[in-house]
Amino acid sequence: MEHMLPTARLSQQQGMDANAISYNGDTALYRACVRQQLEVVQMLLEAGADVNAHSSGGETALYRASKAGHEHIVRVLLEAGAETIGSIHSRPLYAACEHGHMQVVKLLLQHGADPNASSTFSNRRRPNYRSAFLPRRISADCHEARVESLPICCAVQKGYTDIVNLLLQHGADINKRAPSGKSVFMTVFELMISRRSKATQDSNPSE
């Protein structure tokens, strides 16, 4: 990965455009975030790279760094003015919640990320988690939430209690409703009941 650093320095010295687009439609800043190269990210920002530019897939550098959980890169991007909202298909906060990156979630919230901004996904995307211990009706709701979901719903379904509490502290609305009509509160309540029931069954296997 480090082989890009001398190239980036040479390009900077020669005055090359920090916002040039590659053949596949990505900026150098986005590619540096994909490769988790902090020094290259810093250098590109110093050279005037657009911190909010979108990749060919509609993702920002902040989204990619948040998804990967690279706290230092996320911090640098935020300090450079990265917008936390992203797009409805690629919100940095949702990505950090989905992958359990607590410190990144905290950074995003501290820089104004909206805990009530929903994310929408294509039906062609397969869920990367499955709540097998939930009743069938709740599992169906979880699958539906992959079409349109809130950060707190995702954190609840994943079992990231610390992230759930952090979102609540920053104003996550437990009364907000998913497209299915169920509120966040009801999702949490049913999940707690389901887990308690499973724990009881596990502790009394003979019954």
The 10s digit of each residue's pLDDT in 35-61 is 999 999 999 999 999 999 999 889 999
pLDDT tier, 186 (very low <50, low <70, confident <90, very high otherwise)? confident
Mean pLDDT over each residue of the chain, to the nearest integer: 80
146 pLDDT exceeds 90? no
136 pLDDT exceeds 70? no
CA distance 62 to 66: 6
179 pLDDT exceeds 80? no
With tokens 């062609």, the residue in question is 124
Domains plus CATH for the chain? 1-90 (1.25.40.20), 115-207 (no CATH)
The pLDDT value given to residue 145? 39
- Sign of the four-CA dihedral 18, 19, 21, 26: positive
| Mean pLDDT to the nearest integer, 117-139 | 52
pLDDT tier, 156 (very low <50, low <70, confident <90, very high otherwise)? confident
CA distance 79 to 74: 9
Query: In this structure, what are the phi and psi dihedrals at residue 51, rounded to the nearest 5 degrees?
Result: -70, -20
* Residues 48/63, Cβ–Cβ less than 8 Å: no
